[in-house]
Structure 1
Amino acid sequence: MRRLMATTAILVSTLTLVSGCGEDTPATDTGDIETIEITFEDGTVTPNGERVEVGAGQPVDLVVKADEPGEIHVHSEPEQQFEYAAGTTTLKLTIDQPGVVEVESHDLEQVIVQLEVS
């Protein structure tokens, strides 16, 4: 009987240690790409200041459809600038720091989208 109890105690201790050494689940899923469509047409842009939630380190694709070339500014740390051509351009970015990051057009003096990074 003592042998059975000792074996059970060792088995329970081993299982507890092994389960405690497992991988932690990441706080955010960085595998899914967040795609945001942006349209520049006749001197206007859509979306217009919407807030989009993304995870820290999550890839973001800005799919820009534009009637003329231009530039987008991402007010992250460090700041980023992306040029786009007339037609469709996909701009890829990743924000690692939590917070709210504005994506804007300086030419139009307008916030396009706010990325709420958590």
Structure 2
Amino acid sequence: MQRLRMLGAALAGIMLLGTASACGSDDHGDKAGTDETIVVDITVEGGEITPKGDRVKVAAGQPIDIVVDADAAGSLHIHSDPEQELSYEQGTTTIPITIDRPGVIEVESHEPPQVIVQLEVR
């Protein structure tokens, strides 16, 4: 009888474990320490920059590729600690970055003055 109880407890544990793993999320943007690269696309054309203040969720330490498609060379400012100024060329430029501290990090342009994207680092 005791053996039957142990078997029942073991089966219940396995089923509980299976249920817990089935409730997981495929939202990679919320996983801390993930190695999946987040791509942020930015377009600079005729003095206009898009996106305009979109928020992107990333995990602390997660690789980010900022891909700039521009009709002229320019620079982006990343208000992280320390702050960064990243240059891009005419055409397509991929800028890899990583943010290690949680918080909201603004990526902006000074010409024209605009917040392009906010990186919500968790």
**Superposed pair shares fold, TM > 0.5:** yes
TM-score (norm. length: structure 2): 0.74
Q: Which residue is 2:77 aligned to?
A: 73
Identity fraction in percent = 55
Q: Which residue is 2:48 aligned to?
A: 44
Larger Rg: 1
CA displacement, residues 40-98 of structure 1 (integer Å, 9 cap, x when unaligned): 00100011000000000000000000000000000000001110000000001000010
Aligned-CA RMSD value: 0.9
Moved over 6 A (4+): none
CA displacement, residues 7-65 of structure 1 (integer Å, 9 cap, x when unaligned): xxxxxxxxxxxxxxxxxxxx613310000100000100011000000000000000000
The runs of 5 or more residues in structure 2 that have no matched partner are 1-30
Matches within 5 A, 1:24-63: 28-63=32-67
* SS of the residue 2:77 aligns to: strand
* SS of the residue 2:85 aligns to: strand
Q: Distance in 2 between matches of 1:111 and 1:45?
A: 9
How many residues align? The count is: 92
Q: Which residue is 2:20 aligned to?
A: none
Q: Distance in 2 between matches of 1:28 and 1:117?
A: 9
Q: Distance in 2 between matches of 1:84 and 1:61?
A: 13
Q: Distance in 2 between matches of 1:30 and 1:109?
A: 32
The runs of 5 or more residues in structure 1 that have no matched partner are 1-26
Q: Distance in 1 between matches of 2:105 and 2:60?
A: 11
Which one of the candidate residues 83, 87, 100 is aligned to 1:96? 100
Q: Distance in 2 between matches of 1:77 and 1:104?
A: 15
